[in-house]
Amino acid sequence: MVSVTKQLSLDIIEDSTPRPKPINVASVPQLSPFRYPGGKTWFVPRFRQWIQSQPARPKLLVEPFAGGGIISLTAAAESLCDEVVMVELDAQVAAVWQTILSDDADWLINRIIRFEMTLENARRVLEDHYKETRDVAFQTIIKNRTVHGGILASGSGLLKHGENGKGVSSRWYPQTLARRIQQIHLIRHRIKFLHDDAFSVFNKYKNQKALFFIDPPYSIPGSKSAGSRLYTYWKIDHEKLFSICGGLQGSFVLTYDNAEEVVTLANQHGFQHRQIAMKNTHHAEMSELAISKDMSWLI
């Protein structure tokens, strides 16, 4: 197999004084087959801190807005808990996880390896109206790898120039994708996937001592959110989400836009919040918030 594809490098910088040494995301194992907008690879080292700070080894981790699933995959791959529950409402994304975790994983791997990536072939796949779950999964991966930013929401366009003028081939690494899918399939006994609405799943697990990693689409009214552009299901009731978190029996961490509206919600519910700054490969800095009842683990 070929080596892991070079990924977008992000550094995490704590907003404390003195600042600890930045964590380079290139050192984080790349487990997901997705190029996911808003992905949480940058949070993985902090996630490990949080889950290892628990008084006992967790039995269950629930990720109600799974998306690219890097947090759940990390927990499963590194055996940080007994079981993870990944939840996703988007049918395209759900088809990928359902296929990878099923007996159709080998079919998907072979389909990816044998596919000749050209603009014409990509368009042919994307314009089809597939009904079988495994076909939708393959189509979704093609779309995710050939559109700008990996955006699966309607309106996203195919890459024209891409990296080094390679166009739609710029992010097409079939051997790497095949290996990641195979690795996920091998740990499927630790992963439960639900194609469901996050709020329905909260009702199912809220009284259990599960851990919750919650990364909702960022759609706070009035904030500079890209949620409506990035995701198919981007509208959620944020006040309801914060209220639900306050009633969870288990510990939780929320990640959110660093927006005034979010800080206000956190304060209203008595949650602690910490700002985490990120630096991408273009040296542009941005920040997000980590929110929980107790943030003392974030050091």
Query: Is residue 299, in this structure, part of any structural domain at all?
Result: no
Beta carbons within 8 Å of 139's beta carbon, 6+ residues apart: 92, 125, 126, 128, 130
Query: Is residue 5, in this structure, part of any structural domain at all?
Result: no
Q: Which pLDDT value is given to residue 163?
A: 54
Total domains in the fold of the chain? 1
Query: Is residue 175, in this structure, part of any structural domain at all?
Result: yes
Q: Which two tokens stand for residue 140?
A: 């979704």
Instruction: Check which CATH number belongs to the domain holding 94 and give it.
Output: 3.40.50.150
CA–CA separation, 159 vs 221, rounded Å?
30
End-to-end CA distance of the chain: 37
Query: Is residue 298, in this structure, part of any structural domain at all?
Result: no
Helix, strand and coil percent figures for the chain, each rounded to 5: 40, 15, 45
The 3-state DSSP class for residue 194 equals strand
Query: Is residue 28, in this structure, part of any structural domain at all?
Result: yes
Query: Is residue 6, in this structure, part of any structural domain at all?
Result: no
Which of 86, 70, 63 has the alpha carbon at shortest distance from 194?
86
Contact 153, 91 (CB under 8 A): no
Q: Which pLDDT value is given to residue 130?
A: 94
Query: Is residue 3, in this structure, part of any structural domain at all?
Result: no
Q: Which pLDDT value is given to residue 112?
A: 98
Query: Is residue 4, in this structure, part of any structural domain at all?
Result: no
**Domain span including residue 272:** 11-292
- Tens digit of pLDDT per residue, the chain (299 long)? 333 333 323 333 334 433 334 455 566 678 999 986 667 888 898 999 999 999 999 999 999 999 999 999 999 999 999 999 999 999 999 999 999 999 999 999 999 999 999 999 999 999 999 999 999 999 999 999 998 666 766 666 666 645 555 678 878 999 999 999 999 999 999 999 999 999 999 999 999 989 999 999 876 554 445 545 554 555 789 999 999 999 999 999 999 888 888 999 999 999 999 988 765 544 556 678 999 999 999 87
Q: Where are the beta strands (DSSP E) in the chain?
A: 11-14, 23-24, 60-63, 83-87, 191-194, 211-214, 252-257, 272-279, 285-292
